[in-house]
Structure 1
Amino acid sequence: MTAPLPLISLRSVSRTYRTDGVAVAAVRNVSFDIAQGEIVAVMGPSGSGKSTLMNMIGLLDLPSEGEVHLEGANVAGLSEDRRSSLRARSIGFVFQSYNLLARHNAIENVALPLVYCGIGRKDRLARAEASLQAVGMLHRAHHFPRQLSGGEQQRVAIARALIASPLIVLADEPTGALDSRTGAEILALFAALNRTGQTIVMITHDPGIATRCRRTIRLHDGELVSDETLVPLLPKRSAAS
């Protein structure tokens, strides 16, 4: 039986930037796969290359060398418009600063990504309600960001990331702006979403996040220094088993 393709595959990926004519290697020869249903922490200190790596996983940037594959397709071979469309459908982003629009209430913020998918307003709002329900925020659907706590804003941001049923939720320091108790609640929410089969990749410098993930990938000076699986991902049972 042929093993399924990894959801994300990085092969000898490097990313070099030029600053004042000087080449700076942000990521160097990194390779790993992420399977569907994993919850993974990508860890490293400031300057380790984790943000650059996040941008490549999220189809926001391309490697200078090597290949990034999403469901077996080399994303470098796609046009910019095709990558943008694939990103909108396949990647849900969660940011430390929430990035909610102040003039829109929670349900409007959550529904916004579906505008770019050409989905009508009625269907957008129905799906946004379901997404808010999934993160326990339906009762705050018509509140504006200024009326929400930090933890509530991050829950709305997670609902927005889930709205298009993405292959991957990519979270950049998702608890960085929260107190420890609220941060723990957000991590528990991610764990619950992962138990439904959602693939989650969290970019962080916080060791506490790594303890909530089955797998931790560590970077230092742009290089992969360790890749540890704490709890193996169990294969899905067949209907006959």
Structure 2
Amino acid sequence: MSASPPLISLRSVSRTYRTDGIAVTAVRNVSFDIAQGEIAAVMGPSGSGKSTLMNMIGLLDLPSEGAVYLEGADVAGLSEDRRSSLRAHSIGFVFQSYNLLARHDAIENVALPLVYCGVGRRERLARAEESLQAVGMLHRAHHFPRQLSGGEQQRVAIARALIASPLIVLADEPTGALDSRTGAEILALFAALNRTGQTIVMITHDPGIAKQCRRTIRLHDGELVADEKQATILPKRSAAP
């Protein structure tokens, strides 16, 4: 029996942008795989290419050279409509700034991705309740973002990322806007999700976050400089969120 392909594969990936006629290469000749069930950090200083790499893993952008594969399929060979559908169904995004809609309460924010998946309102809200429950935020379902703390908003954002049961969750500096205690709670939540089998990649410049993941992929000036696996894992989530 042949082995299953990696969830995500990057093969000699480069991304070059042109600004005012000047070519700038943000990512250069990067290759690695992400397996189902991994929790990994992509680490590097500002300008190292982390966000560009996340955009390619998340099918928001295509490489200038090389290839990105999702479950063995070269995403560059897919139509834009197909890539959009894969993003909606297979990729969950969590951002430092939460990106919640101010005029919608928590449950409506969480349910929003299912609109683009063609799911009816009743099912959307039922699944949003389940997703909020998974992150300990069901009791705040009808509160608006302005009524939530930073940590609560990030939990809602994580619930939103999980609602379509994605293959992979991409988190871009998910604790960057939080104090250290709340940030630790969010990391523990990611650990709990990973123990259920959720694949998670966190983009970070924080060595403390990277140290707590099973794997750290390091970038510098757009190049892959290290790919390290370690026994240390994220802390367990507290019993009461």
> Which interval holds the TM-score relative to the shorter structure?
over 0.9
Distance 1:75-1:235 versus aligned 2 partners, 3 A rule: farther
The 1:62/1:23 distance shift into structure 2, 3 A limit, reads same
CA RMSD after TM alignment:
4.8
Deviates more, 1:158-167 or 1:209-218: 209-218
2:117 matched residue in structure 1? 117
Q: TM-score, normalised by structure 2?
A: 0.95
Number of residue pairs aligned between Structure 1 and Structure 2 = 241
**Conserved in 2, the CA contact under 8 Å of 1:93 and 1:161?**
yes
Normalised by the length of structure 1, the TM-score is 0.95
Distance in 1 between the 2:238 and 2:183 partners? 36
Task: Tell me if the contact between 1:10 and 1:33 (Cα under 8 Å) persists in the aligned partners.
Answer: yes
What do residues 2-38 of structure 1 show as CA deviations (whole Å, max 9, x unaligned)? 2221000000000001111111110000000000000
Give the match for residue 160 of structure 2: 160
Which stretches of structure 1, 4 residues or more, deviate above 2 A after TM superposition? 231-241
User: Does the 8 Å contact 1:95/1:173 carry over to 2?
Assistant: yes
- Alignment correspondent of 1:96: 96
Q: 1:79 to 1:236 in 2, by over 3 A?
A: farther
Change over 3 Å in CA distance of 1:175–1:232 after alignment to 2: closer
Between the aligned residues of both structures, percent identity stands at 90
Residues 139 and 73 of structure 1: CA distance in aligned 2, closer, same or farther (over 3 Å): same
Q: Deviation per CA, 1:192-217, whole angstroms, max 9, x where unpaired?
A: 00000000000010111112210000
2:67 and 2:76 in contact (8 A); partners too: yes
User: How many angstroms apart in 1 are the aligned matches of 2:238 and 2:156?
Assistant: 35
Checking the alignment, whether the CA contact within 8 Å between 2:48 and 2:219 is kept in structure 1 is yes
CA separation of 1:237 and 1:26: change in aligned 2, threshold 3 A: closer
Superposed CA offset, 1:93-145 (max 9, x none) = 00000000000000000000001111111100000000000000000000000
* Aligned equivalents of 1:194, 1:236: Cα separation in 2: 11
Query: How far 1:177 moved relative to its partner?
Result: 0.2
CA contact (8 A) 2:185 2:237 kept: no
Q: Where does the alignment leave 5 or more consecutive residues of structure 2 unmatched?
A: none
| C-alpha distance in 2 between matches for 1:44 and 1:101 | 30
